[in-house]
Structure formats: C-alpha cells, structure tokens
Structure 1
Amino acid sequence: MNRLFPIFLKLEQLQVLLIGAGPVGLEKISALLQQSPKAKVRVVAKDVSGDFRAFVKGQEHVDLYERSFEDVDLDGVDLVVVASNNTLLNQHIQGLARKRNVLLNVADKPDLCDFYLGSVVMKGDLKIGISTNGKSPTIAKRLKEFLQGLLPEEIDETLGLMYEMREQLRGDFGEKVRLLNAHTRELLERSQK
C-alpha cells in the first residue's frame, strides 16, 4: 500500500539545495524549474557538466557553487535533493538532514529519501502528481504520457470558469460544494452525449 502523502510545494517560498550537477543533477533541476520556474535553488557541485552549466545560465533564482559539499550548505535550507553516486556522502547528508529536520531526496536511493519526485501531468493550472511508491518510475512516466494526451487543451479554460463561478457563489461551504458538484456533474453529462 502506498502510504506517501501527496503535497504541492511553493518552491519560490522555500530554499532548495541541489547537490550534484551532472546528468542526474540536470534532470532534477530541470524538473524543479519546469514545475516551479521561480524556485530558489542553491546548487553545490565540485564537477559541473557543460549541459548543466548551459541550463542554469541566466536562471536568476539559481545560485551555483562549484566546490565540494560542506555541512554548512544545509544552513537555511528547507529541502535537499542529492544527485550524487557517492554512497558515503549521501549517507552523511542524510544524517545531517535528519538532525536539522530538512526533507531529503537522494536520486535512485529510495531508502535514503523522505520524499520522491514523482511524474507530473501538467495542463495550464492543472497538475496531477503520479507516484508508484518508488517502485517503477517507468510506469509513472507511461501514465504521465497517457494522461497528458487524454486531457483536453481546454481544461485550463474550464478551470478558469469554475474559479469564477466559485468566487460568485454565496452561502456556507456545504452549499458551495453542493452547487459546484451539481455544475460539474452537468458538464460531464453534456460531454458524454
């Protein structure tokens, strides 16, 4: 049973530390910035790939420090993503993160993670997170592709209209929910005809 708690974070309000700037680091920072373009990311890496350097060039919310990790790098950090294949370093960072109550993700090491970076389907303001509890990123990726193709481009317009309707509704919370449910049921019934 998947016991993970799904959550969406406002990364522009948090400080993210990414350790590693090779191919896996590039994959992680790409995902972070694609989902949260104003995410504040501090990157610490002794070796920085050319692709990584090119990707972060001009990213005003990304600070790159080309050096080895130091324990003080966790100061003021809310979230850590490690893209390192150094087992001892990964375990050391896990110990530090636990002591400081900082959430940690270590790429391809589920046993060291407090959270996973799942696949995300995105159409405008709609985001759907997909988790396989760390068991099969490939299945998550295939589900993402399927759902991405399934959702109509107009979904963002529908979300906007539902927001406007919600803002105009009066009454208590229960009444608002009842009215919105009735409206969405009507929309679904019309789309099935």
Structure 2
Amino acid sequence: MSETYPEVQGGGSLILAWQVRGRRVLVVGGGEVAAGRILNVLNADAKVTLVSPRDGLNDEVAYRIEKKQVDYIDRKFEPSDLDGADMVLTAVDDPEASTQIYKLCKEKRIPANIADVPPECDFYFGSVHRDGPLQIMVSTNGNGPKLANIVRRQIAAGLPKNIGAAIQKVGQLRRKLRRVAPGPEEGPKRMQWMSKVCETWTLEDLCEMDEKDMERLLGFYKPNSVPLLTQLRLGEHAPIVGFGGAFGWW
C-alpha cells in the first residue's frame, strides 16, 4: 500500500502565497538587495518602512523614497523600529548587526529574512515570474539564487504569452459564479464546474470571453455542462440567464 502514496522528500520549504496587503514590513538597509526586497513587498501591497542612513542609498531605493512609496527613517536600525512590524527584511553589510536584528525578531515572534544568511531566515525570496495575476516562484531553498533566476526564465519562456489575460478572465467568471451560487454547499460543484471550463476552453477562448459570454455560460452551471465558445455564441444551447443579486435565477 505504501507504494501508492508520494514519498516524503525532506529538506524543502513550504512555498506559500503570503498575503501581506496592508501589513507593515520593515526593511533595514538601502542597497541593491534592499531595492529588490522593497519592490517585492510593494507589489504585494504592503506598507513599507525603510530604515537606512541616506549615505549610500541605491538609486532605486532613493526613487521609492522620493515618490513616497515607503516611509523613510534616515538613520541606523534601533530596536524600537520593530514596534508594529509584521515582517522584517534586512539587507546590510554587517553580519553581527544582522544577527542581532534576527535575535530580536525571534524574541518578538516577527518573521524575518536576513539577506544572504539562510540559517537566519524564517522564509526565502525566490525568483518570480509575474504576468498579471499569475505568479510563479522558483526557490533553491537558499542554495543558489542565480540558478533560480535561470530556471525561472526558462519556465517563463515556455508559457503562452496570453496566459495572464486568460487567468484574469477566469477570475471574473469565478466571482460571478460565486454570486450566482453563494452557498457553502455549492463549493465542490463550483470547483468542479470551473475545472471543466478551464479544460474545455482554450487560452485563446478564455482571453476572448466577454461579459455577455460569461452571463450565457453561467446558464450551464446548474445542469453542470460546459459548451464550447463557438457553440455558446451560435446559440445552440441555453439563452442568456440573468442574476438578480439574490438566490435563484430570473
């Protein structure tokens, strides 16, 4: 029986999509590495506080400060900077200072990433490909960041150019479906039906799908069927069905 289950492969990390929207992220350091960290968390809609002396600021970091994309404190790190922080990222050329910050974070139970010191990281940054809502991260668990970048580029080169737009349309359809069938008991059926749509329609079909197509397609949720886009537009199946914002169809 054991051969029917996946073999456990230890030594990995749990890769998650961490939602930090609106959370306070403290970045210590203002060099090139800090610039990348800042962009990563700004892309995730976090609120960023940067602590670093103005001397030696990376040009991109200086730009973020000038555009008021971050809250800037012009000095070296002080322990009080951790007050109110939900996450800490350090990128300074001072191993001893970095270790002290990490120890303080552990005491306060604040997740931290100490750049270039894997043993002092609660999480790692991977190499990320972004296309609209699509994000693909490649992690080497701190072993080879440059290699992760190479692998990420190879993966991205093999993806369809319109996959980001297709995912956006699928997201719109899912939100509409949740309004049509909001009950928790509908959850498994919603997932099954959306899977059918993604398997039946091509990426080009999903990109081309408009609001009218979505409304007509939703008419096939109850009978649990999925017509092709061409059939849907030719009217070979059910007519457009409206949803009045409450339970049921009209």
TM range, smaller chain: 0.7 to 0.9
Query: Residues 111-160 of structure 1: CA distance to partner in whole angstroms, max 9, x if unpaired?
Result: 11001111111111111122111111122101221222222232133223
Give the CA deviation at 1:54.
3.2
Give the CA deviation at 1:2.
4.4
Q: Does residue 1:39 correspond to 2:54, yes or no? A: no
CA contact (8 A) 2:128 2:136 kept: yes
Structure 2 unaligned residues grouped into runs of 5+: 1-9, 206-250
For residue 103 of structure 2, what is the amino acid of its counterpart?
G
Select 2:120's aligned residue among 108, 112, 117. Answer: 112
Query: Residues 59-83 of structure 1: CA distance to partner in whole angstroms, max 9, x if unpaired?
Result: 3340121211111010000100000
Report the counterpart of residue 81 of structure 2 in structure 1. Answer: 73
Report the counterpart of residue 18 of structure 2 in structure 1. Answer: 9
Change in Cα spacing, 1:188 to 1:8, as seen in structure 2 (3 Å) is same
Aligned residue pairs, count: 189
Query: Residues 5-36 of structure 1: CA distance to partner in whole angstroms, max 9, x if unpaired?
Result: 22223333111111111232223223333x33
Aligned equivalents of 1:137 and 1:19: distance in 2? 20
Report the counterpart of residue 111 of structure 2 in structure 1. Answer: 103
Give the CA deviation at 1:89.
0.7
CA contact (8 A) 2:114 2:120 kept: yes
Aligned equivalents of 2:137 and 2:119: distance in 1? 21
Aligned equivalents of 1:127 and 1:189: distance in 2? 17
Structure 1 unaligned residues grouped into runs of 5+: none
1:177 match: secondary structure: helix
Select 1:51's aligned residue among 53, 56, 59. Answer: 59
Question: What's the TM-score once normalised by structure 1's chain length?
Answer: 0.85
Aligned equivalents of 1:42 and 1:71: distance in 2? 14
For residue 40 of structure 1, what is the amino acid of its counterpart?
K
Aligned equivalents of 2:47 and 2:39: distance in 1? 13
- Higher relative contact order, chain-length normalized (CA < 8 Å, sep 6+): 1
Among the aligned pairs, what percent are the same residue? 28
User: Which deviates the most, 61-70 or 161-170?
Assistant: 161-170
RMSD of aligned residue pairs (Cα, Å): 2.4
Change in Cα spacing, 1:48 to 1:14, as seen in structure 2 (3 Å) is farther
User: Which deviates the most, 178-187 or 107-116?
Assistant: 178-187
Alignment of 1:74-153 (within 5 A): 74-153=82-161
Query: By percentage of residues, which structure has more strand?
Result: 1
Select 1:155's aligned residue among 157, 163, 168. Answer: 163
CA contact (8 A) 1:90 1:106 kept: yes
Aligned equivalents of 1:114 and 1:164: distance in 2? 34
User: Which deviates the most, 60-69 or 86-95?
Assistant: 60-69
User: Which deviates the most, 23-32 or 11-20?
Assistant: 23-32
CA contact (8 A) 1:43 1:62 kept: yes
1:57 match: secondary structure: helix
Change in Cα spacing, 1:165 to 1:24, as seen in structure 2 (3 Å) is closer
User: Which deviates the most, 52-61 or 6-15?
Assistant: 52-61
